[in-house]
Structure 1
Amino acid sequence: MTRYIFITGGVVSSLGKGLASAALGALLQARGYRVRLRKLDPYLNVDPGTMSPYQHGEVFVTEDGAETDLDLGHYERFTGVNAARGDNITTGQIYKTIIEKERRGDYLGATVQVIPHVTDEIKSFVLSDPGEGVDFVLVEIGGTVGDIEGLPFFEAIRQLGQELPRGMACYIHLTLLPYVKTAGEMKTKPTQHSVKELRSIGIQPDILLCRCEQPIPPAERRKIGQFCNVREGAVIQAMDSPNIYAVPLDYHEQGLDREVLDVFGLLGTAPEPDLSGWRRVSDRLAHPDGEVTIAIVGKYTGLTDAYKSLVEALIHGGLASNVRVRLDWIEGEMFERDEALIGERLAGVHGVLVPGAFGERGATGMIRAIQFARVHQIPYFGICFGMQMAMIEAARNLAGLTEASSTEFGPSAQPVVGLMTEWSRGNERETRGEGDDLGGTMRLGAYDAVLAPGSRVAAIYGAEHISERHRHRYEVNLRYREAIEATGLAFSGLSPDGVLPEICERADHPWFIGVQFHPELKSRPFDPHPLFTSFIGAAKDRSRLV
């Protein structure tokens, strides 16, 4: 029977609940158990798809086309289990479902209330089929205890603790133990108050995962256990790790997985974990053979969480080449304000990457960066928006289409990039209009592509048919294919029906590839994405020359 682990947070946000959940899932997996991870988000948005990256960070897209919280990216990278639409729910989705039911009359005239109707929807989501043979479902609740918008979620998991068979639920509370340097003391009071808040709504944590800068002294550990009604051994120290892939190793050393298994009465029968893969990854990150510098010229570089999967995919590419990847974050607008800075910032880098983005801000600077990488033979990787800008750069500077642009920026005499209005998904045709809602209306999720025989990308993938995840509303216009290919930028990947450009590449360049999809979403530490492996390999080759 499936067991449930609920992970909550207290004191402050951004303590790392998502990473802790993913690391615990990896530890249980290493012991031979099958796991699934889910996220409950208390905000009123239906999903994060329309939210600013500065508000929410990256939008992680699943195979089935759901726009979800970035923590689902952690879940996938740490466990290798593909997330799905049913693994992330928001208050917005719950209320939308309830209102639709009420309008249809499904409640048979009943007064619709938070309890039981909202909490029942949350419980229904948590208990929905996790898949055959899943031993543990780990459920992370977003926000912190005490947030007013999170109360229905805490109430729902409290009820589940009573409704599930005895011994089938475990509560983990992630909290903060601040160290006051002037006093030379670690303070336990914030943790005590956080647990008090949690207990006041009926949830007694089984395990406390305590984020701290210093090791927890025995006296403080004992004090926390006494005041929070938790076994002393279940007060788990969670200090910063040298890298995120060392977190499972550190949590195992502190006994997190053993305490969880003990809650379920499984400690005596559980096999020892095989953590050899995590040790190899962590050791390689700690002892690389060299270093490469990649310039990321984007729009949201002030918040690296906006590119979380991208950062990790670059690290994975570095693992494959055994090099440390240093990232140089550059706002595209910088190259618009001062074109002279392009040479200063890019001449010494080993690769240039333009990631996904929306809107015109910074686009001209990105196009200038692409031109510099093309002319100076610097490995270039364009992802989604980065591919579109590479097409516009070739059209403007090499094909003589001086007014080439994207209709995303406004009316264009030469729309090299335009709004997608229809496309195929399997045997079905999907359509979108310019005035449609923004939420959930892009080309989302996994789509197939056919690669040109003999192309560089076909060699990189070792295949001519691939599937990758997409998230875009605009697409390169095939009407300009002949003019652009005459400049040496080949369309080396297309949708199966030959209508939508998926990949472009240059044969006259050490490494110049643009893709319309987001390969970073499928990269894993134990299975780096081939495009990132090849890109970092090319950057490593360049590092030997400059």
Structure 2
Amino acid sequence: MARFIFITGGVVSSLGKGLMAASLAALLQARGYRVRIRKFDPYLNVDPGTMSPYQHGEVYVTDDGAETDLDLGHYERFTGVPGRQTDNVTSGRIYSDILARERRGDYLGATVQVIPHVTDAIKAFAQNDVDDLDFVLCEIGGTVGDIESLPFIEAIRQLRNEVGEENVSFVHVTLVPYIAAAGELKTKPTQHSVRELTSLGIQPDILVCRCEQPLPQEERNKIALFCNVRKEAVIPALDASSIYEVPLNYHDEGLDREVLRSFGIAPRHAPDLSRWLDIVDRIDNPEGEVTVGIVGKYTGLQDAYKSLQEALVHGGLANRVKVHIRWLDSELFEGTSPDLDKLEPMHAILVPGGFGSRGSEGKINAIRFARERKVPFFGICLGMQMACIEGLRHLGGIEGASTTEFGETSEPVVGLITEWMTEEGIERREEGGDLGGTMRLGAYPADLKPGSRIAQVYGSGKISERHRHRYEVNAKYVEPLEKDGLMFAGWSPDGLLPETVERPDHPWFIGVQFHPELKSKPFDPHPLFASFIEAAVRQSRLV
């Protein structure tokens, strides 16, 4: 039977519950246990797919097409366990499902209430498809005391009673702030947060205390006394220079040992942390450095590109170099005098995915700079589409080349796709229909042209990558684009949808319709990012 670890947060948000959950899962994995991590999100959106990146950060997409919280990216990167539709649920999805059942009459005339109907749905989500696991870690979003999270707190309280206390552990993440004027760490916020949680029927077994200063033993003892936990179960969590140090730091503080003890499990052996030690060694002892410019729309919030940021770090790990990322607002490169000088120091340029027309002309100008100056270029999703538009405008002489995403155009190089083939058959979409969940989502296969650069990078002619987009390159423009030197090296298996482009006469110029960053991991860097950073290293030696 799977054991459950429920992770809550208190005092303030953004304490790093997701990283803590990912780190704990990695430590349990290193001890030989089978794990899976799930996320409960209390907001009323059905999923984050229609939310602004400035509101929620990036939308992480799984192989089976779920649009999920960015924490699922941490979970995959730290454990290597692919996320699924069943690993992220929101209040919106739960209420939507319950109301649909009520309309069908499934409740046989009963009054539908938060208890038991909503809490039963939450418990069913937590327990779904866990037979082959040793531990299921469930992170509850938000902060204890928020009205939105109350049904989730009640559900996990009930679940502990139903499956047995010996099969559930509660981990509470809190803040121990440092008051500079007093020169003291203050434990009172943690005490109040735990009191709030216990008033809801949950006594935490372990406290993870985020703090900027080392937590003295005296303060740990005080927290343990007032919060009714063992002294050893008060785990300090100081800021780390890299997120990939966090599992090692938590292990040093005894987090995995205390979690096993809360289940009455004696550790069988020390965890194998060799791959985490290797990752940290590569981060701390690079043999060079490169600078990559990301020309995007949401550069004001780096979480909007979280997986991309980490994939570039992984590319650096593969080449044992430090990657400096320069976030460049694409609007800098627009207008009558675009500030292209900001691109001069870059050893490589990347244009990521995005939606909407704002900043698009700047992206096109940045791509032209990379093409003409022979700077390594990587275009992802919208970045690939902009590379095609740039080619037709400046090499093909079609000044009106554009995309229907930005409005009506006489030269629709990129257009809305209304149907495509899936394993289950033809998927269709109506123009003007709902936005949520209507994109081409999840993993799709592609065939790569033998001898192409991208086939060499993958070492294979067949790949499967994750997608998240509504618009595709119009196949009728393939011929003029290829006349201008842009090779279409990857296609969907039915030969209808372009998947990758490249320029054979360029040191490194690749665009992909999919999102390879979603499958990159620190111990298994994605080959495209490893190759891209390798090209940046070569470029750095030419400058």
**TM-score bracket for this pair, using the shorter chain length:** over 0.9
* Structure-2 separation of matches of 1:69 and 1:347: 35
- Note if 1:468 corresponds to 2:465: yes
CA contact (8 A) 2:293 2:350 kept: yes
SS of 2:349's partner is strand
Q: Which residue of 2 aligns with 1:60?
A: 60
Partner Cα separation in structure 1 for residue 149 and residue 491 of structure 2: 44
Q: Does 1:372 align with 2:369?
A: yes
Q: Distance in 1 between matches of 2:470 and 2:365?
A: 23
User: Residue 538 of structure 1 aligns to a residue in which SS?
Assistant: helix
Distance 1:450 1:131 in 2: 35
Q: Does 1:318 align with 2:316?
A: yes
Deviation at 1:501, TM superposition (A): 0.3
- 3-state SS of paired residue (2:46): coil
CA shift at 1:334, angstroms?
Answer: 1.3
Residues 200-223 of structure 1 show CA distances to partners (whole Å, capped at 9, x for unaligned) of 100000000000011111111111
Q: CA offset at residue 338 of structure 1?
A: 6.1
The answer on 1:481 being equivalent to 2:505 is no
- C-alpha distance in 1 between matches for 2:523 and 2:163: 35
1:427 CA displacement:
4.8
* Equivalent-residue separation in structure 2 for 1:29 and 1:71 (angstroms): 18
Q: Corresponding residue for 2:406?
A: 409
CA shift, 1:337, in A, is: 4.2
In structure 1, what is the Cα distance between the partners aligned to 2:108 and 2:414? 51
Structure 2 Cα separation of the partners of residues 359 and 209 of structure 1: 41
Deviation at 1:283, TM superposition (A): 1.0
Match of 2:332 in 1: 334
- Do the aligned residues in 1 keep the contact of 2:332 with 2:338 (CA within 8 Å)? no
1:111/1:270 Cα in 2 relative to 1: closer, same or farther (>3 Å)?
same
Taking the aligned partners of 1:494 and 1:294, their CA distance within structure 2 comes to 28
> Residues 69-468 of structure 1 correspond to what in structure 2 (within 5 A)?
69-132=69-132, 134-267=133-266, 269-337=267-335, 339-342=337-340, 344-468=341-465
Q: Which amino acid aligns with 2:14?
A: S
CA distance in structure 2 between the aligned counterparts of 1:508 and 1:454, rounded to whole angstroms: 14
Q: How far apart, in 1, do the equivalents of 2:337 and 2:127 lie?
A: 55
Secondary structure of the structure 2 residue equivalent to 1:448: strand
Partners of 1:243 and 1:338 lie apart in 2 by 41
| Structure 1 letter corresponding to 2:281 | D
Give the whole-Å Cα distance in 2 for the aligned partners of 1:21 and 1:149. Answer: 21
Q: Deviations over 1:148-184 (max 9, x none)?
A: 0000000001111111123100000000000011101
1: distance between equivalents of 2:400 and 2:63?
A: 36
| Matched letter for residue 460 of structure 1 | V
The residue type paired with residue 483 of structure 2 is A
Q: In structure 2, the residue corresponding to 1:246 is in which secondary structure?
A: helix
Q: Distance in 2 between matches of 1:67 and 1:456?
A: 31
The alpha-carbon distance between structure 1 residues 130 and 337, as it changes in their structure 2 partners (threshold 3 A), is farther
TM-align CA RMSD:
0.8
Distance (Å, rounded) in 2 between the aligned partners of 1:400 and 1:131: 60
How many angstroms does 1:130 deviate by? 2.3
Q: For each residue in 1:309-366, what CA deviation from the matched residue of structure 2 results, as whole angstroms up to 9, or x when unmatched?
A: 0001000000000000000001111111463411x11111100000000000000000
Q: Distance in 2 between matches of 1:484 and 1:242?
A: 45
Task: Provide the TM-score with structure 2 as the length reference.
Answer: 0.99
Q: Does 1:4 pair with 2:1?
A: no
Q: Distance in 1 between matches of 2:364 and 2:217?
A: 57
Deviations for 1:389-408, whole angstroms, at most 9, x for unmatched residues? 00000010101111000000
Q: CA deviation at 1:436?
A: 1.1
CA–CA distance in structure 1, aligned partners of residues 307 and 129 of structure 2: 27
Cα separation, 1, equivalents of 2:406 and 2:103: 39
Matches of 1:71 and 1:410, distance apart in 2: 34
Aligned length: 543
Query: Contact conserved, 2:2 with 2:131, CA < 8 A, in 1?
Result: no
**Percent identical:** 66
Q: Any idea what SS the aligned residue of 1:155 has? A: helix
Distance (Å, rounded) in 2 between the aligned partners of 1:166 and 1:330: 51
Indicate if the aligned counterparts of 1:78 and 1:524 stay in contact, CA closer than 8 A.
yes
> What's 1:513 paired with?
510
What secondary structure is seen at the aligned counterpart in 2 of 1:205?
coil
CA distance in 1, matches of 2:492, 2:480: 20
- 1:438-493 deviations in Å (ceiling 9; x for gaps): 00000000000000111000100000010000000000001011111111011000
Q: Does the 8 Å contact 1:32/1:271 carry over to 2?
A: no
Q: What 5-or-longer segments of structure 1 have no aligned partner? A: none
